[in-house]
């Protein structure tokens, strides 16, 4: 029963976070003269790629190329 509660809470938080993301992405371009579609695509695209970039840079800085590049070239 507790697992179901956690799943429902997670879905609610995910939906709320998505709403905030879209409002923020589409609310910024007004003063810059950029279309809301373009700025939304750029902001959301960067936001979804940022975690992979952070993991790759961290792996490269810590001499762990097996994490940065998958699948491993020797595999």
Q: How many residues does the chain have?
A: 75
Instruction: Name the residue ranges covered by the structural domains of the chain.
Output: 2-68
User: pLDDT value at position 24?
Assistant: 74
pLDDT along the chain (75 residues), means of 10: 94 90 68 74 84 86 72 53
**What's the CA gap between 9 and 15, in Å, rounded?**
10
Distances (CA, A) of 35 to 18, 21, 46: 20, 17, 17
User: pLDDT value at position 69?
Assistant: 59
**What's the CA gap between 24 and 18, in Å, rounded?**
10
- The token pair at 31 is 């003063």
User: pLDDT value at position 74?
Assistant: 55
User: pLDDT value at position 31?
Assistant: 61
């Amino acid at each position: 029963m507790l697992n179901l509660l956690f799943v429902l809470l997670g879905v609610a938080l995910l939906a709320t976070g998505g709403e905030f993301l879209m409002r923020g992405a589409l609310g910024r371009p007004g003063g810059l003269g950029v279309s809301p579609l373009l700025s939304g695509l750029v902001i959301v695209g960067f936001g979804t790629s940022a975690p992979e970039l952070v993991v790759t840079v961290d792996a490269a800085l810590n001499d762990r190329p097996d994490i940065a590049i998958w699948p491993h070239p020797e595999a």
